[in-house]
């Protein structure tokens, strides 16, 4: 009898394990649609606003905030499989008003982002030199070196810099990368290229490949 009792217990444990596995699998296939939040000073008045990101549909998210009592929101592409992440709170030009770096797609090695700015009334996408919404990549694994960084300007403000380089030979030791570092200034939500620096067979330790995203953080946010 005792022996049977042990088997029964083991079977029940096995069923419970199977059930909990079954509960995890659908959660991966359909990420939570619960909102995620962060805080940012969107209008630069010293008061933090709550910023919310929520998955609203197939590969669609809405980013929203209330600034001085006025609600603003914008729909952006999202990665339904990965779910939404709270936007990164940055100040890409150092003017005291936050820009939001928003995750749009998540790959095995590389994540793609776009950026939002607050124009005094609405959230809108930061655009590049060609008036196209900014898309910036981070990561790249070994085959590529991708990211962004901000650099303080003498006299105030910051430049926003993107790095996009590919490994010259992924079997080389040390690895070297070639590509481009692009230096931008941001004004009224539009980026202007200040310089384009060629990266030519440089090791990842070279400052020209530096891509420390934390340098773009909004102080105090």
Question: Shortest Cβ distance from residue 184 to Ca ion (Å)?
Answer: 12
Q: CB burial class (10 A; 0-12, 13-18, 19+) of residue 65?
A: buried
Closer to Ca ion by Cβ: residue 43 or 79: 43
Closer to Ca ion by Cβ: residue 67 or 199: 67
DSSP codes joined into one string, 16-37: HHHHHHHHHHHHHHS-----EE
Q: Are 30 and 55 in contact (CB under 8 A)?
A: no
Closer to Ca ion by Cβ: residue 33 or 50: 50
Q: Are 62 and 74 in contact (CB under 8 A)?
A: yes
Chain residues that interact with Ca ion, rule: CB under 5 A: 41, 43, 45, 47, 91, 93, 95, 97
Closer to Ca ion by Cβ: residue 50 or 109: 50
H helical segments located in the chain: 2-29
Closer to Ca ion by Cβ: residue 140 or 189: 189
Strands 36-40 and 49-57: antiparallel
Question: Shortest Cβ distance from residue 188 to Ca ion (Å)?
Answer: 10
Question: Shortest Cβ distance from residue 75 to Ca ion (Å)?
Answer: 22
Question: Shortest Cβ distance from residue 58 to Ca ion (Å)?
Answer: 32
Question: Shortest Cβ distance from residue 69 to Ca ion (Å)?
Answer: 11
């Amino acid at each position: 009898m005792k022996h049977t009792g042990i088997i029964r217990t083991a079977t029940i444990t096995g069923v419970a394990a199977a059930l909990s596995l079954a509960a995890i699998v659908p959660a991966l296939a359909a990420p939570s649609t619960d909102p995620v939040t962060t805080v940012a000073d969107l209008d630069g008045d010293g008061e933090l606003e709550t910023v919310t990101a929520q998955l609203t549909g197939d590969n669609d998210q809405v980013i929203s905030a209330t600034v001085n009592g006025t609600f603003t929101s914008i729909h952006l592409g999202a990665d339904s499989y990965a779910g939404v992440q709270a936007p990164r709170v940055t100040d890409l030009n150092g003017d005291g008003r936050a820009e939001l770096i928003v995750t749009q797609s998540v790959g095995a090695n590389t994540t793609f982002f776009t950026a939002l700015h607050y124009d005094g009334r609405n959230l809108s996408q930061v655009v590049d030199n060609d008036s196209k919404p900014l898309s910036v990549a981070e990561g790249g694994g070994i085959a590529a070196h991708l990211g962004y960084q901000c650099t303080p300007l003498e006299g105030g403000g910051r430049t926003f810099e993107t790095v996009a380089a590919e490994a010259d030979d992924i079997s080389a030791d040390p690895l070297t990368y070639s590509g481009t570092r692009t230096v931008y200034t941001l004004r009224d939500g539009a980026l202007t290229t200040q310089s384009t620096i060629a990266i030519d067979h440089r090791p990842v330790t070279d400052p020209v490949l530096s891509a420390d995203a934390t340098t773009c953080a909004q102080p105090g946010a």
